[in-house]
Chain A
């Protein structure tokens, strides 16, 4: 808005320069302590997942009934070699949590990747072709949105059969509408802009237009939605695991660990506390990051 005076320093005598866009983004992002905390936690979880083989003290699936239900090291009867205690069949909880991080990140990323891939294609198609195609796609998405997400996921898994793969597919389907709507809305706003008209006039094909010209321009909201989507995916997959419909034992998936531990809630607090805490912290981190990204990328909220 002040470009006119900015480009002509002979006219205006600037006393300070406005910040560069990337620095401005980082300025807004880093001013949000929660978002930075989220980012730090996510990096930490990624590192733990990548280095699981190195840092896990035990094999996550090694059972030893002799040391079943050992409490964490600071409690009486606990030992430092099993820092967070052991589960009912003597597996080291810390090691299981560390390997569980691999699973949770994998679930989050794969689910969101599937959803984004299918969702943006459907959204782009709906936005570009309009008419009946659009009505059909958007109506379908509305129906998916109307149904409670976990209920839909549960029904799908119940029919397809329990298991991690099916749970991931179900969750991917459930979060699909967000990406379809986003991509469609972006296409509709973007196609009305001049650069798309220019590309059309110069003879660019529809497919090329969709992927080369429009898609790069709706990445910002997609990134935000992806971050929030990962948290939903991890949470819903864990819920399915908890209900016995997701990853199956002896998988160290956090939700599945909780399902195994449920009946011991009265006797051994640590077997239920730590897996859930891991879920909460990871999901919270992705939500914090998503919120921070949205605030930093959304120009409407900037003063």
Chain B
């Protein structure tokens, strides 16, 4: 039994201009102790997918799925009360902005012991002892004195460590890290990633690493899922994906990495993720794709098994007949890149 099972998940938000589909038909399986990287630009739906798993989609968002299960529990029919017993205990989440994610009006100690007292039923004394232990585990120096500190008195990196301590307090089976290092200084980023990976190994917990940074995924994940405009574009093992990306979007993301740049100039992907008003009829990536054809502009590709993973593309990069197919379907050229 997989730890997380998601089938055909979609999340929609009604807005002034119509219904905005943030997540569109996402399916996903995650085993115990597995590390999954979820990659995509901002607005690709990667965070919203995980928020849906946590049951944190804010009103008036709507969540629909054929299956949404955690550790064998059906999350679509679960009662609010049972769900609260699960969230924060068996599945925990940390966020992008550590400083705003902690409540400014309460001390670190209060916020940390709150989780322990709720889920583990500890008394104040025991919770405080455990809190000191946890702060030590996430590498905070002199943890006893930090209990009475307020979030604004600490740096972003320290606050993220507190967030991690809070998340792992009840030994969760799954930790979702939503851009955990984006808001931090570069030197701190590596420390936080190392901490997350070592905690994951120590406890054999599932870890979902949401990021827009391919470099972060390369350092951490075993398996990678690439999302674009609410859909999965490609999904396979990290080693394969980095060695030979199959989707033009993945390839473009990799080409944009500084260490892969050729000729001293950083590659960029022209255009932006489609919004509410300019969602293409065919492949969602086609407006920005260097290989788009009349066919891909008009027909949306499905997610199909490919090369040991899945891909949503008419013309996978590793397909031997690819050039012929593209020629056949009337290429629209590369004006997007010009």
Is the CB–CB distance between B335 and A10 below 8 Å?
Answer: yes
B76 within 8 A of A: no
Smallest beta-carbon distance B194→chain A, Å: 35
| Alpha-carbon separation in the docked complex, A303 to B278 (Å) | 18
| Alpha-carbon separation in the docked complex, A10 to B281 (Å) | 13
Q: Which residue of A lies closest to B13 (CB)?
A: A303
For B288, what are the chain A residues with a Cβ–Cβ distance below 8 Å? 11
B17 within 8 A of A: yes
Is the CB–CB distance between A303 and B16 below 8 Å?
Answer: yes
Number of interface residues of B (CB under 8 A): 19
| Alpha-carbon separation in the docked complex, A261 to B125 (Å) | 69
Known: A11-B271, A11-B287, A11-B336. A2 touches B16 (CB 8 A): no
Scan residues 15-39 of chain B and give those whose CB is less than 8 A from a CB of chain A: 15-18
Which stretch in A14-22, A134-142, A232-240, A246-254 binds the other chain?
A: A14-22
For B272, what are the chain A residues with a Cβ–Cβ distance below 8 Å? 1-2, 4-5
Is the CB–CB distance between B335 and A2 below 8 Å?
Answer: no
| Alpha-carbon separation in the docked complex, A18 to B72 (Å) | 44
B318 within 8 A of A: no
For B276, what are the chain A residues with a Cβ–Cβ distance below 8 Å? 16
For B15, what are the chain A residues with a Cβ–Cβ distance below 8 Å? 303
B258 within 8 A of A: no
B139 within 8 A of A: no
Of B276, B277, B297, which is in contact with the most chain A CB atoms at under 10 Å from its CB? B277
Number of interface residues of A (CB under 8 A): 17
For B280, what are the chain A residues with a Cβ–Cβ distance below 8 Å? 12-13
For A19, what are the chain B residues with a Cβ–Cβ distance below 8 Å? 17
Is the CB–CB distance between A12 and B278 below 8 Å?
Answer: yes
Q: Which residue of A lies closest to B298 (CB)?
A: A13
Scan A50-64; emit 1 where CB is below 8 A from any B CB, else 0: 000000000000000
Smallest beta-carbon distance B48→chain A, Å: 15
Of A18, A19, A27, which is in contact with the most chain B CB atoms at under 10 Å from its CB? A18
| Alpha-carbon separation in the docked complex, A21 to B16 (Å) | 14
Scan residues 226-278 of chain B and give those whose CB is less than 8 A from a CB of chain A: 271-272, 274-278
Smallest beta-carbon distance A110→chain B, Å: 38
Known: A10-B335, A27-B16, A303-B16. A15 touches B275 (CB 8 A): no
Partner of A18, one of B277, B279, B287: B277
Smallest beta-carbon distance B225→chain A, Å: 25
For B278, what are the chain A residues with a Cβ–Cβ distance below 8 Å? 2, 5-6, 12-15
Partner of A12, one of B16, B17, B18, B274: B274
| Alpha-carbon separation in the docked complex, A12 to B282 (Å) | 11
Scan residues 1-49 of chain A and give those whose CB is less than 8 A from a CB of chain B: 1-2, 4-6, 10-19, 27
Scan residues 37-66 of chain B and give those whose CB is less than 8 A from a CB of chain A: none
Q: Which residue of B lies closest to A3 (CB)?
A: B272
Is the CB–CB distance between A16 and B18 below 8 Å?
Answer: yes
Known: A13-B280, A16-B18, A303-B16. A2 touches B336 (CB 8 A): no
Is the CB–CB distance between B297 and A13 below 8 Å?
Answer: yes
| Alpha-carbon separation in the docked complex, A111 to B38 (Å) | 60
Is the CB–CB distance between B287 and A2 below 8 Å?
Answer: no
Is the CB–CB distance between A12 and B281 below 8 Å?
Answer: no
| Alpha-carbon separation in the docked complex, A1 to B276 (Å) | 12
| Alpha-carbon separation in the docked complex, A27 to B16 (Å) | 9
Smallest beta-carbon distance A188→chain B, Å: 26
Is the CB–CB distance between B287 and A5 below 8 Å?
Answer: yes
For A27, what are the chain B residues with a Cβ–Cβ distance below 8 Å? 16
Q: Which residue of A lies closest to B332 (CB)?
A: A10
For A15, what are the chain B residues with a Cβ–Cβ distance below 8 Å? 277-279, 281
For B335, what are the chain A residues with a Cβ–Cβ distance below 8 Å? 10-11
| Alpha-carbon separation in the docked complex, A12 to B275 (Å) | 10
A11-B288, A15-B279, A18-B277 given; name 17 further pairs at CB < 8 Å. A2-B277, A4-B271, A4-B272, A5-B271, A5-B272, A5-B278, A5-B287, A12-B278, A12-B280, A13-B278, A13-B280, A14-B277, A14-B278, A16-B277, A19-B17, A303-B15, A303-B16
* Top 7 A-B pairs, shortest CB-CB distance: A12-B278, A11-B287, A14-B278, A12-B287, A16-B277, A13-B280, A2-B275
Can you spell out 29 A-B residue pairs with CB atoms less than 8 angstroms apart?
A1-B275, A2-B272, A2-B277, A4-B271, A4-B272, A5-B272, A5-B274, A5-B287, A6-B278, A10-B335, A11-B287, A11-B336, A12-B278, A12-B287, A13-B278, A13-B280, A13-B281, A13-B287, A13-B297, A14-B278, A15-B277, A15-B279, A16-B17, A16-B18, A17-B277, A18-B17, A18-B277, A303-B15, A303-B16
